[in-house]
């Protein structure tokens, strides 16, 4: 089933796309948030990483290079990883850099502190 959906076998998808290129997508999302760039910058990086992922699937494992469904599905996974890393890093930075204004409200969000600073 995964082979039909993603265009490669399950070990190749999880090993190459999720672990290796997904790690790059995570770092790209972190870098965008660290530089205070908006989320579409992380999406742009994910689109480029999707192309690199398709090339590695083709070059290393004999997959189809020009597979639109493979590119879209792999890029969607990479975009989700990059956006999650962007939001996670942004929430951490907002709370650590402005502790008198914001407090943590979950893994991906923050809240304004009250007027008393509590």
> How remote is the C-alpha of 9 from its chain's centroid?
22
How far apart, in whole angstroms, are the C-alpha atoms of residue 35 and residue 118? Answer: 28
pLDDT tens string 29-69: 999 999 999 999 999 999 999 999 999 999 999 888 888 88
pLDDT band, very low/low/confident/very high, at 115 (cuts 50, 70, 90): low
- Sequence-ordered list of residues with C-beta below 8 angstroms from that of 87, at least 6 positions apart, any chain: 33, 39, 108, 109
pTM for this predicted structure: 0.90
């Amino acid at each position: 089933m995964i082979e039909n959906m993603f265009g490669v076998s399950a070990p190749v998808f999880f090993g190459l796309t999720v672990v290796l290129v997904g790690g790059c997508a995570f770092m790209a999302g972190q870098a965008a948030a660290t530089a205070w760039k908006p989320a579409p910058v992380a999406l742009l990086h994910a689109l480029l990483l999707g192309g690199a992922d398709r090339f590695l699937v083709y070059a290393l494992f004999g997959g189809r290079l020009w597979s639109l469904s493979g590119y879209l599905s792999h890029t969607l996974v990479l975009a989700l990883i990059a956006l999650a890393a962007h939001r996670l890093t942004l929430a951490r930075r907002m709370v650590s850099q402005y502790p008198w204004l914001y407090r943590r409200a979950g893994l991906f969000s923050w809240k304004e502190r009250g007027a008393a600073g509590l």
